[in-house]
Amino acid sequence: MSVTLASSDFNFPNQENVYHGKVRDVYSLKDKLIMVATDRISAFDHILPEAIPYKGQVLNLLAAHFLEATKDIVPNWVESIPHPNVTVGKKCEPIRLEMVIRGYLAGHAARTYKSGLRELCGVSLPEGLKENDKLPEPIITPATKAEEGHDEDISKADILARGIVSEKVWNTLEKYTRALFAKGTEMARARGLILVDTKYEFGIYHDEVILIDEIHTPDSSRYFYLEGFDERQAKGEAQQHLSKEFVREWLMSKGFQGKDGQQMPEMDEAIVQTISQKYIHLYEQITGKTFTPEDVSTIEAKTLAVI
- State the DSSP code for 145: -
| Nearest-angstrom CA–CA distance, 176 and 182 | 10
pLDDT band at 173 (very low <50, low <70, confident <90, very high): very high
Query: CA–CA separation, 238 vs 114, rounded Å?
Result: 16
Place 1 in a pLDDT band, splitting at 50, 70 and 90: low
Nearest CA to 64 out of 38, 43, 87, 33 is that of 87
C-beta contacts of 166-172 below 8 A and 24+ residues apart: 169/95, 169/209, 172/209
Q: Please, what is the average pLDDT of the chain?
A: 94
Topology of 94-242 in CATH? D-amino Acid Aminotransferase; Chain A, domain 1 (3.30.470)
Radius of gyration (Cα) for the chain, nearest Å? Answer: 20
Which of the four pLDDT bands, split at 50, 70 and 90, describes residue 178?
very high
- Mind giving me the DSSP string for 47-93? E-SS--TTHHHHHHHHHHHHHHHHTTTS-BSEEEEEETTEEEEE--E
The fraction of the chain above a pLDDT of 70, given in percent, is: 98
Summarised one tens digit per residue, pLDDT across range 231-279 is 999 999 999 998 888 898 899 999 999 999 999 999 999 999 999 999 9
- Report the pLDDT value the prediction gives residue 150, as an integer from 0 to 100: 61
pTM confidence score:
0.91
Q: Which residues of 110-144 are buried (b: 16+ CB within 10 A; e: fewer)?
A: bebbeeeeeebbbbebeeebebbeebeebbbbbbb
Query: Is residue 51 within 8 Å of 38, Cβ to Cβ?
Result: yes
Tell me the domain boundaries of the chain. 15-92+244-304, 94-242
Burial of 289 (0-12, 13-18, 19+ CB in 10 A): exposed
Tell the CATH superfamily of the 15-92+244-304 domain: Phosphorylase Kinase; domain 1 (3.30.200.20)
Determine how many CB atoms are found less than 10 A away from the CB of residue 92. 21
Of all residues in the chain, what percent carry a pLDDT higher than 90? 90
Q: What whole-number distance in Å separates Cα of residue 58 and Cα of residue 39?
A: 9
Give the pLDDT of residue 149. Answer: 54
Residues 140 and 174: their CA atoms lie apart, in Å, by 8
Q: What is the mean pLDDT of residues 157-168?
A: 97
The burial of 15, by beta-carbon neighbours within 10 Å (0-12 exposed, 13-18 middle, 19 or more buried), is given as middle
pLDDT at 214 over 70: yes
| Backbone φ, ψ for residue 222 (5° rounding) | -115, 130
Neighbours of 306 (CB within 10 A): 14
